[in-house]
Amino acid sequence: MAVAREEQAAVPETPPTAEIASFEQTDLKLKKTMGLTQLTALSLGAIIGSGWLFAVLGADSTAGPASVLSWLIGGICVLFIAFTYMEISAMLPRTGALSRYPQLTHGGYAGMILGWAYLLSAVSVPAIEAEASVTYLASKFPSIGLIPANSTIISWPKGVMLAFGFMIFFFVLNFVGIRLLSEVNRWVVLWKLVIPTLTFIFVFFAFRSSNFGSAVGGFTPLGKAPIFEAVATSGIVFSYLGFRQALEYAGEARNPQRDVPRATIISVLIGIALYTLLQLAFTGGIRWGSMGVKVGDWGLLGKGSWATGPFYRELHAAGIGVLAGFAALLIWDAVISPAGTGYVYMGTSVRTFYGMSVQRLFPPGLQQMNKFGIPWPALVASFFVGGLFFIRQPSWYNLVGFITSTTVLTYLMGGAGLMVLRRLAPTWKRPVRLPAAWLLSALSFVAATEIVYWSGFSVLVEVVTFVFGGIAIYLIYYAPAKGWMSQNQGLTLGLLYLGVWIYIAAKGGWVLRSAPQPVAGSWTFGTYFVAMAAAVVLVTVAAWLLSNEEGRKHVAQSWWLIVLVLSLFLLSFYGSLGFNATNPTVHFPWDYLIAAGLGVIAFAWAVRSGFETEELKELHIALTEGRRLEPVPETEEGWQPLHHEHTPNGEPA
């Protein structure tokens, strides 16, 4: 009892007042059922998804044998990002956390842009995981027509309808509540650990050291720059992105201050070890003749016959009976592993909708709970928006770069947000305090900047276009709802911007294209960039002019984000990962150094731009001056939020 009392007293106090209901009391409607094991399983289950099935081939086709280094580099970058969120999440565990933190420290304008980017990434993951399952099944059953011959694009209607079937399964599992999802996920994660571990052990029996030697062009046959490019474009960072699940479900954890940071770091470390071994084994097991690719022609691996099922094909090609037998299990895993990640990420997108609704970025109706404690309107929205990603040539390889870049763009806020909270809220209780915070925060920010840049121009052109499209939502709904501008002003400006945005995207000819070339007759890149940059800058200035004093503050403190994104976009066209990568204007490593320099400048600017938002003021009252709302222990009826008054030292009143 004494230990329990001490832990209870250590929790920051929250007053049951109307002022903080929008940010604090909403999470009390969620059921607190998850411990360290469940949180770790959620993060690890999301990390071990379709990435291990496909990213190994994508990485080899981008960087050759040096792809092993790509996994280590990607893991280290993600660790830097995760470190910054450890302190924030332990201090402020919130459901839908990563979509809520930006607004807390940098206001509604930056919060809307980054929250929208995060939502785009979250809702698309269930679709890519469903695509992964269908693609692997097609490698075993090519005759049923899930994928056309010599392609990785899911066919209509058979392939797409089967993928929708997986989405429906994700929906149902999330609808019935977090307790069932946690229990199912525990066993699924065990499977997802065992099968990949056995896979790299078995593949090592077919290992050929010659795949790392001079016969195939050496360890870096494609050069050094692709080692970094593979981090963002082949599915490496995408595979690690699951670490955020513990953060997203923090509002449903029993002891979030203790368990969320631990679960986050444990899952990333296990992921680094597992994926590095899988890549090493896969590269050593390549049989060039079986793939239909000339020995040493690494760039064509993605077009070879193994693209629909890399490990499955490799085990069969080894010519060892027991390995071919084990390969049959991979077909089952191709259903279980991606599905296990898909239903977790559908839960993530639900909590992103929920978190943005709590912040009033979306209507409050999205917070309505079903009897299982799940915000069902957010779940419905997640299902239908995610389904839109089947429209444009559905393929795991086509979608992975977009998800990576949109997600990592939001991770800029880990380092910047941490330092803003250190400056504006130095007295808040911090169960986890990051050492060398300035250094690690800067490294986190620069790592996220580099990953976004490494995505390359063909990915960034779509990311930038769609992310800036979220400004229309801010103008049409959020700013008027907050009273920062009139409804007529917001609607008029928002619709005008939306029309201009659609026109520029269409004339640019780059968006919604699977080919690296724009549509014939489109604008040049220079015209497209100037038009898009002008539209974003002018609408931001107009939003500032039409807003009241409070609204102007939110708009003005967001320029660092707009300038950084546009600068990286411009650099990506002329750099070594750009439109003319064979003869770029800015060669490697200078473009990487410029991107890092932009990251350093933007980090300092972002930290300086953080200000005491309305939500931050409410939290300051909640965490330093008042009382907290505390749910009663779990009963058969579930959690019921009750008001328990506490004195400043944490003792019951």
Residue 37 pLDDT more than 50?
yes
- Percent of the chain whose pLDDT exceeds 90: 45
Say how many C-beta atoms besides its own lie within 10 A of residue 291's C-beta.
22
pLDDT, tens digit (0-9, with 9 covering 90-100), for 270-284? 999 999 999 999 999
Report the C-alpha gap between 484 and 475 in whole angstroms. Answer: 10
φ and ψ of 638, to 5 deg = 100, -170
Residue 490 pLDDT more than 70?
yes
pLDDT score recorded for residue 87: 86
Which range among 11-20, 317-326, 522-531 shows the weakest confidence by mean pLDDT? 11-20
Strand partners of residue 652: 646
pLDDT score recorded for residue 646: 38
pLDDT, tens digit (0-9, with 9 covering 90-100), for 368-385? 888 877 888 999 999 998
Q: What would the mean pLDDT of 562-572 be, rounded to a whole number?
A: 96
- Contacts for 380 with CB less than 8 Å, ≥ 6 apart: none
Confidence at 354, pLDDT banded by 50, 70, 90: confident
Residue 626 pLDDT more than 70?
no
Q: What would the mean pLDDT of 546-554 be, rounded to a whole number?
A: 96
Q: What would the mean pLDDT of 441-450 be, rounded to a whole number?
A: 96
pLDDT score recorded for residue 516: 61
Report the C-alpha gap between 120 and 468 in whole angstroms. Answer: 12
Confidence at 18, pLDDT banded by 50, 70, 90: very low
Query: Closest Cα partner for 478 from 117, 112, 103?
Result: 112
Confidence at 34, pLDDT banded by 50, 70, 90: confident
pLDDT score recorded for residue 650: 39
pLDDT score recorded for residue 163: 92
Residue 428 pLDDT more than 90?
no
User: What tokens does 629 get?
Assistant: 């709302």
Which range among 6-20, 143-157, 390-404, 415-429 shows the weakest confidence by mean pLDDT? 6-20
Helix 51-63 / helix 396-410 crossing angle, nearest 10 deg: 90
Residue 291 pLDDT more than 60?
yes
Residue 462 pLDDT more than 70?
yes
Where do the domains of the chain lie, and which CATH numbers do they carry?
Answer: 2-621 (1.20.1740.10)
Q: What would the mean pLDDT of 18-41 be, rounded to a whole number?
A: 63
Report the C-alpha gap between 233 and 268 in whole angstroms. Answer: 19
Residue 635 pLDDT more than 50?
no
pLDDT score recorded for residue 136: 86
pLDDT, tens digit (0-9, with 9 covering 90-100), for 234-250? 999 999 988 887 877 77
Report the C-alpha gap between 187 and 642 in whole angstroms. Answer: 33
Residue 641 pLDDT more than 70?
no
Report the C-alpha gap between 471 and 335 in whole angstroms. Answer: 37
Report the C-alpha gap between 500 and 506 in whole angstroms. Answer: 10
Cα 61 from chain centre: 23
Residue recorded with tokens 């974003």: 536
Residue 9 pLDDT more than 70?
no
Burial 551-576 (b: 16+ CB within 10 A, else e): bbbbbbbbbbbbbbbbbbbbbbbbbb
pLDDT score recorded for residue 631: 37
Cis status, amide bond into 148, omega within 30 of 0: no
Q: What would the mean pLDDT of 586-612 be, rounded to a whole number?
A: 96
Residue 423 pLDDT more than 70?
yes
pLDDT score recorded for residue 507: 92
Which range among 339-348, 438-447, 631-640 shows the weakest confidence by mean pLDDT? 631-640
Q: What would the mean pLDDT of 171-196 be, rounded to a whole number?
A: 77
Residue 633 pLDDT more than 70?
no
pLDDT, tens digit (0-9, with 9 covering 90-100), for 79-109? 999 989 888 888 887 766 677 788 889 999 9
CB 330 within 8 Å of CB 307: no
Q: Burial level of 199, CB count in 10 A (0-12/13-18/19+)? A: buried
pLDDT score recorded for residue 33: 76
